[in-house]
Every structure is written in structure tokens, then in C-alpha cells.
Amino acid sequence: MTDFNIEETIQLLSKLIQNRCVNPPGNELKSINTIHRFLTERGVESTIYKTAPERGNLLARIQGTQNGSKLMFGPSHVDVVPVTKEEEWEVDPFSGIMKNEHIWGRGALDMLFMVVTQVQAFVKLHQENFQPKGDLILLIVSDEEAGGKYGTEWMYLNHPDIVQTDYAVSESGGLAISPGKFIFMFGEKGGSWKRIRFTGTPGHGSMPYNSDNAVKKAGEAAERLYKYGLSNFLGIPVTTEFLKPMARGLGLGLIQRFMLTNKFILPLTLRQMKNTNQAMAKAVHGLTRMTISPNIIHGGSKINIIPPSAYLEVDIRTLPGQDEEYVIKHLQKAIGNKLAKEAIIEEPSADEGGVASYGNASPISSPFVQAMKETINEILPGSTLVPFMMPAVTDCRFLRERGIDAYGFALFDPKTPLNDLSHLAHGINERVSVKTLELSQEAYYLLAKKVLI
């Protein structure tokens, strides 16, 4: 293993957690300035790009000696989501405390541990006078948790030349899905949130018989959308492109692979899986279809007035190849002809997450993917990578839109439970192990050498 100062890594992670860059409002310059000082103290020049009051991004570069392929560490974001149910945390969620060989706090997993390990790998390479053939870029950004307007998107709209790269490693990957097999994220689902409006006729709440109640329509639509999203297979053949290599990577037998990748057998497979491995069942369900989750209903103004208006907000996640037309068609089909004729389908405002994105992916197999596999195997001999699709939206979409191969790549402690990512990221008692910090900074360091020399 490379001689990293793990105490510095832990201290930087703790400080970023303590900075409380909760988005909204973000105020990410606190952490951007922290990283800038950390780099400056170690002889690394970096530039801060202010994008709004108290918001901004940071970029550093190790210049290539030849016209080789470029690699980006990032875009990696320093903003974090708000804390809910703080009283249920075992520690102060913004303490950044180390407990049981883990650093605890909001953002530790998503994705401050990747920020600090990429920074440390970059510093180590710089101090060794690393001379890559192509540029090594470090990009730390704001605003990922609210769409990237002041972060990655801003950089590509305002400074496209300086963030141009061939490859990028960002969130998230590196969890062990089975012994010796670690996932990497080659693509992600899109987020297409929708607001579905219904109108009714106001009346007295004491006489509801045969009333034209807008809340009732929204509730009925929510029930139909929920059932439709669970019972309909809205993905094949798109997902067979990665489900089959994923199944092979897991070492599944022929029958098991068939049960996972056949659209007629998969519902039975999921029913069996939810009783034995609920976390895996959730992941497979989400990764094999467009998901539809009705999550908010608004309607009515007073308890004794039959509501004349109501709307339903729906979280929709699309696979690559599923566009706006596809989304609308299935929403209308789900709620049925009668309700569909009355429904007004629109996007929430941008401030509420109404900026749509659609599924996107980079190649599953390539020389760069092979370099990631070799990196993992060098650190943990006998290990390999398995392709996986991120169920959530990340900044990688901005890169893939521009033809850049972007991957979720890190290296977790093999003992880390797979469901930690789904339960702890954005959840209660978010934390990351010291071992994960050690392994991830080593992985980024070795990857840069494999790709750029």
C-alpha cells in the first residue's frame, strides 16, 4: 500500500462534515475554501470559480506531458442533504466524530469520503512529481443534490475547455456485492419528476354524495400509479445489456442468470428474493424498469369544503432509452382513460426538482474499465468488478451528454454491507469506515497511474 497520511484524510473528512453544507441553501464555499487551503498547504495550486453568493467550485490540474487521454477525479460534490429525525442519530450528525473505526456524519457516504480520498490521491501524485501523458484533473463542485445548476452544469456551460476530459470517476461504486466482486457504476437512471393536477367542483363537506372531489381523483391516481409501477415490467430489453454481464460477474449459474434476466420469470424471482435478500430485491426491481413512486398529494383548503383542485407529485426514474414520450404514455396508461382525460401532467418548478434528466450510460467494457478492474485486483488480489447501474441521478449525466466516459468508482472495505449505501446515504447514522478511506485513496492513486502513464 502507498504511504498515505490517513490521519490527514480523516481530519479533512471531519472538517467537511462539520462545515454543514446542507443544500438548500448549500453555502459550499466553506468546504471549497477548506479544500483550497488543504491543497495550498501541500504545494498544489487550485482555482476557485464562484457561481453564486457563498457557492462555487474548485479545479486543480496536473498537466500532461504529451497529448494523452485525460482523467478527471470528479466531479465530486461537497453539498449534502438535510438531516431528518436528528433525535434518532447516535451522534451529532455534523460532528464528524470517529466512533468504532467509522467517521460519522451527514455526507460521509454521499459523497465526502470520495472527495477527500480523491484530494489525497491527487496531492500524493503531485508531491511525487507525477508526469502523466494526459492531464489529471481534480474537480470539486457544489449543488449536486439540487440539480447541479451552480456546480457541474455551470462549469460545462461557462468553462467547457478546462473541464474537458476523456474519462471521469465519480459516485458511486466499490461496494462488495459478493465475496471478491465489487460493483462499478457505468450508468444511471434519469429523474423525471411529474406533477399531475386534477380539478373538481367545490361544495359543502357535509354533503359528499356523488361529489366531484379533486382529492379523491388524486388519491385514486396515486393508487393506480403505485400498483402499475410494481406490476409492469418497463425495462427489457434495455437492461439485458448489463443484467447478463452483471449476473455472470456475480458467478450465478445458468438457471439463476435466466431467472434474473428473463422478463417473464423476473416477477417470480423478485418475489422469492424479497424474502431472502430484500436489499437486493429493491435494487434489481429498480434497475430493471422505469420506476413510478407517487409520493406527495396536495389538495383542499378547508376541512369542510369539497376540494376543487388537487395535485399529485410523482418520482419517476427512467432507464437509458426511455424519453419524455415514454414517460407520459405510461403515466396515462397507469391512471386509466377516464382520469387521463382530466389529468394535467406537468413538471414541478426547477426549485422543487423539476429539471428532468433521462437515463444515460458509458460502455460496460473498455480499456478504462479494464484499468479499474486491474486496480481493484492489485489492491485486493483475486477481486474483480461487476457492472451496475446507479438508481439515482448524479452529475455524471452532464459528462455523458458530452461524450465523456464517466464511472462510479471507489473501493469500500469488503466487510461493508451492500445495503449501507441505500440505508445510510441520506439516512440516519450515515458513516464510512476508516478502511474504506484507506482503500479508496489507494484505488484512485493507482488508477491514475494505470491510465495516464
Statement to judge: residues 32 and 140 lie in one domain: yes
pTM recorded for the entire structure: 0.88
Same domain, residue pair 270 and 335: yes
Tens digit of pLDDT per residue, the chain (453 long)? 889 999 999 999 999 999 999 999 999 999 999 999 999 999 999 999 999 999 999 999 999 999 999 999 999 999 999 998 999 999 999 999 999 999 999 999 999 999 999 999 999 999 999 999 999 999 999 999 988 999 999 999 999 999 999 999 999 899 998 889 999 999 998 988 899 999 999 999 999 999 999 999 999 999 999 999 887 655 544 455 667 777 776 666 777 777 777 777 878 888 888 888 777 788 778 878 888 999 999 999 999 999 999 999 999 988 888 889 999 999 999 999 999 999 999 988 766 655 678 889 999 999 999 999 999 999 999 999 998 888 888 999 999 999 999 999 999 999 998 777 778 889 999 999 999 999 999 999 999 999 999
Q: Is residue 122 included in any domain, yes or no? A: yes
Q: Are 418 and 182 in contact (CB under 8 A)?
A: no
- 272 and 201 in one domain? yes
For residue 42 the three cell numbers come to 501541500
Residues 316, 195 share a domain: yes
Whole-angstrom distance, CA of residue 85 vs CA of residue 137 = 38
DSSP letters, 275-309, are HH-HHHHHHHHHHTS-EEEEEEEEE-SSTTEE-SE
Whether omega for the bond prior to residue 75 falls within 30 degrees of 0, making it cis, is: yes
202 and 177 inside one domain: no
Residue where a domain terminates, one of 331, 352, 373: 352
Paired residues of 60 in beta bridges: 138
Are both 321 and 245 inside the same structural domain?
yes
CATH code, domain with 366: 3.40.630.10
Q: Is residue 313 helix, strand or coil?
A: strand
Residue 421 lies in domain:
6-188+360-452
